Amino acid sequence: DAGVIQSPRHEVTEMGQEVTLRCKPISGHNSLFWYRQTMMRGLELLIYFNNNVPIDDSGMPEDRFSAKMPNASFSTLKIQPSEPRDSAVYFCASSFGSSGSREQYFGPGTRLTVT
Amino acid sequence: GESVGLHLPTLSVQEGDNSIINCAYSNSASDYFIWYKQESGKGPQFIIDIRSNMDKRQGQRVTVLLNKTVKHLSLQIAATQPGDSAVYFCAENEGGGNKLTFGTGTQLKVEL
């Protein structure tokens, strides 16, 4: 079975440019999470969706960041305009969202470098 | 200037020895805990989980211990192998919601 799919795997862009990261969760999962990982701050939850609805976006650093989930099989995280301090690895994760197992399955990540 | 990053605790063990990785959690209302393994260049991978109504759970070569009194979680890896070298994260969840709160991680290095 395919796991969580993220694209691109690597992105290098110049400051001020728009960046769009993409995620396809595991089929059947109803919760989707966006994380950012840096050496400075570790693994941070940015936002998560339940049944395509944003539930908690308190981790989104500022208005330059936005996330959408137009359907159950696709989500985007957009940064506009990008800044060098946005350089990080961005992970998408999905889960079944039941009270039985709360395990989140992580994608391989997108390594973003903003110069 | 020099950038300051998270100082990950590091555990170095000899191949074949047992490893114990510790984690202190903060929320006494947390009732579900997970250990993840993250290898270099990859996303975190699930290892084992435990609910708060249990003190111990065993998997293949791994055991998780939970002490709710002192809010402490540990991961024991038996007969540590070079492939176990990674950063290990504990995560906690409260009340059945979907949000996991991750710890800062521990770097495990296996020496041959």
Span A69-86, pLDDT tens digits: 999 999 999 999 999 999
Average pLDDT over residues B66-72: 95
Query: Which residues of chain B have a CB within 8 Å of the CB of A36?
Result: none
For residues A45 and A42, give the distance between their C-alpha atoms in angstroms, rounded to a whole number: 10
Considering CB atoms only, which of B42, B89, B96 is closest to A43? B89
pLDDT of residue B96: 64
Residue B37 pLDDT > 90, yes or no?
A: yes
Residue A41 pLDDT > 80, yes or no?
A: yes
For A6, name the nearest residue in chain B, comparing CA atoms only: B43
Q: What are the angstrom distances between the C-alpha of B103 and each of A60, B6, B49?
A: 19, 11, 15
For A109, name the nearest residue in chain B, comparing CA atoms only: B43
Region of residue A62 (phi > 0: left; psi between -120 and 50: alpha; otherwise: beta): beta
Q: Which of residues 4-63 of A touch B (CB under 8 A)?
A: 4, 31, 33, 38-43, 45, 48, 50, 55-56
- Chain A: closest CA distance from residue B112 (Å): 27
Q: Which of A104, A105, A111 to mutate to test the interface with B (most CBs of B within 10 A)?
A: A104
Average pLDDT over residues A95-110: 83
Residue B1 is given by DSSP the state -
Q: Model confidence at A101, in pLDDT bands (50, 70, 90)?
A: low
Q: Which of B98, B100, B101, B102 to mutate to test the interface with A (most CBs of A within 10 A)?
A: B98
Q: Which of residues 90-109 of B touch A (CB under 8 A)?
A: 93, 96, 98-102, 104-105
pLDDT of residue B1: 40
For residues A59 and A76, give the distance between their C-alpha atoms in angstroms, rounded to a whole number: 16
Residue A87 is given by DSSP the state -
Place of tokens 């890896």: B77
Q: Which of B51, B100, B101, B106 to mutate to test the interface with A (most CBs of A within 10 A)?
A: B100
For A99, name the nearest residue in chain B, comparing CA atoms only: B96
For residues A87 and A6, give the distance between their C-alpha atoms in angstroms, rounded to a whole number: 17
Instruction: State which amino acid sits at residue A70.
Output: P
Residue A1 pLDDT > 80, yes or no?
A: no
Count residue pairs from A and B with Cβ separation < 8 A. 58
For residues A44 and A90, give the distance between their C-alpha atoms in angstroms, rounded to a whole number: 9
pLDDT per position as a tens digit, B52-64:
999 999 999 999 9
Bridge partners (DSSP) listed for residue B46: B36
φ, ψ at B87 (rounded to 5°) = -100, 135
Considering CB atoms only, which of B4, B34, B42 is closest to A108? B42
pLDDT of residue A100: 58
Residues 6+ apart with CB under 8 A from B59: B47, B48
Cα B93 versus chain centre, distance = 14
Q: Which of A11, A26, A9, A3 is nearest to A74 (CA)?
A: A26
Q: Residue A73 CB: number of other CB atoms within 10 A?
A: 15
Residues 6+ apart with CB under 8 A from B60: none
φ, ψ at A23 (rounded to 5°) = -145, 135
Q: How many residues does chain A have?
A: 115
pLDDT of residue A65: 97
